Structure 1
Amino acid sequence: MKKLTEPGRVMYSIGLIGLSIICFISKDFIVGRPPAWPASLNLNPALAYVSATILIILCLGIILRKSPVISALLIALLIFFLTVIRALFHFMNDWVNGYKAIALMGGALIIAASFLENKHNIIPNASMRDSRRRMLIIAGTILIAPFLIAGGYAHFKYADFVKDLIPAYIPFHLFWTYFCGVCLIAGGIGILMRPTIHLASLLCGIMIFGWFILLHVPRFVSNMNDASDRMGLCESFAFAGVFFTLAAITKRRKRIVINQE
């Protein structure tokens, strides 16, 4: 299961690099799909170009293991200041994307926590390292879980819209809409509880990666000019990476007891 850690980190980073490229195209920082800046603020496209460049550099830091903990934490801060704060002012009108922005920030904390398992990092003291790691995992899951639960609820509230997103070659659209809604809610609850966090995060990773392959890739290929489909492709890949990483770092180690006579 530890073999999932590195692919998960890379998937999250590649997903965010893809979103960074979309930032250049859209001339705005679109990670987490924040609302537009107030008309009185003339921040783009300069802010979009600078922030997207910084995000790419930080993602490369994770992939290449160049100060990866700091890189992941800075990604969380970048998303917080440029997306989450903007989303809070429009949360009641766009709560799904608000939760998504918060979840992407939480994902960065999970990625940071995964590097604290390695003794060769910025925190030499083992007990302090474990404490920081637990704190980041708890914070990350608390930030991600509401998005899963809200997403599951949205599958029921907006079932007619969601079922139309499913490709035509997949039968029983309404069934899969409700089924995935239940799975999202169960996953959100599951990652908050220690006995189920590993299994819940693993299953969420498999489910979302399945959506990436079966849903987002075909939609992107069929219409590469659709901004929402471009973001959905990158977001699903990034979230799958987060859950694979979380599954890897929360698997309980088996204790081997040796009886001495």
Structure 2
Amino acid sequence: MKQAAKVSAYIYATVMFIFGIQHFMYADFVATLVPGWIPFHLFWVYFTALALMSSAVSIYIGICAKWGCLLLACMIWVFILTIHIPLLINSHFDGGKITNALKDTGLASCAFILAWIYQQEGIK
């Protein structure tokens, strides 16, 4: 189980690292997804990119991985609460928006599970 968890953690970290790179590559588009009431859209896009990449690095090197996963999960839940839920309220029959909300719910759940595994089994 420990080996499978470790491989899964590295795969998850790779996905998060790639998402971070994509935030830099497509910053102007991603900035349009930040709710209008939040100022400094590009700052938050770059901050999110660095947070995604930092959490991935913490998993790769095994330093503060539990905290990296917990903070990542909380950040993704902020996205769910501030972006996805308002979009679903306004257009709840849009399949793409439902899929994106569920995807982020799954990603946050995986980060919480990884944090628990780091806590329980101490994988590095």
- TM-score normalized by the length of structure 2: 0.89
Corresponding residue number in structure 1 for 2:39: 171
For residue 218 of structure 1, what is the amino acid of its counterpart?
P
SS in 2 for 1:203: helix
Distance 2:87 2:7 in 1: 33
Distance 2:25 2:37 in 1: 24
Q: Count residues in correspondence.
A: 121
Cα deviation, 1:37-96, whole Å, max 9, x if unaligned, reads: xxxxxxxxxxxxxxxxxxxxxxxxxxxxxxxxxxxxxxxxxxxxxxxxxxxxxxxxxxxx
Distance 1:212 1:136 in 2: 28
For residue 28 of structure 2, what is the amino acid of its counterpart?
D
Structure 1 gaps of 5+ residues are 1-132, 254-261
Q: CA deviation at 1:162?
A: 0.3
For residue 117 of structure 2, what is the amino acid of its counterpart?
I
Corresponding residue number in structure 2 for 1:138: 6
- TM-score normalized by the length of structure 1: 0.44
Q: CA deviation at 1:252?
A: 6.5
Distance 2:96 2:46 in 1: 22
Which is richer in helix?
2
Q: CA deviation at 1:224?
A: 2.1
For residue 112 of structure 2, what is the amino acid of its counterpart?
F
Corresponding residue number in structure 2 for 1:161: 29
Corresponding residue number in structure 1 for 2:57: 189
Match status 1:249 vs 2:107: no
Runs of 4 or more consecutive aligned structure 1 residues displaced over 6 Å after TM superposition: none
Q: CA deviation at 1:225?
A: 3.3
Distance 2:78 2:27 in 1: 19
Q: CA deviation at 1:164?
A: 0.4
Q: CA deviation at 1:221?
A: 1.5
Q: Which structure is higher in RCO with an 8 Å CA cutoff and minimum separation 6? A: 2
Distance 2:64 2:71 in 1: 11
Corresponding residue number in structure 1 for 2:99: 231
Corresponding residue number in structure 2 for 1:205: 73
SS in 2 for 1:191: helix
Q: CA deviation at 1:235?
A: 0.9
For residue 189 of structure 1, what is the amino acid of its counterpart?
V
Q: CA deviation at 1:138?
A: 0.9
Corresponding residue number in structure 2 for 1:116: none
Q: Percent identity?
A: 28
Residue correspondence of structure 1 range 29-40 to structure 2 within 5 A: none
Distance 2:77 2:34 in 1: 15
Aligned-residue RMSD, C-alpha? 1.5
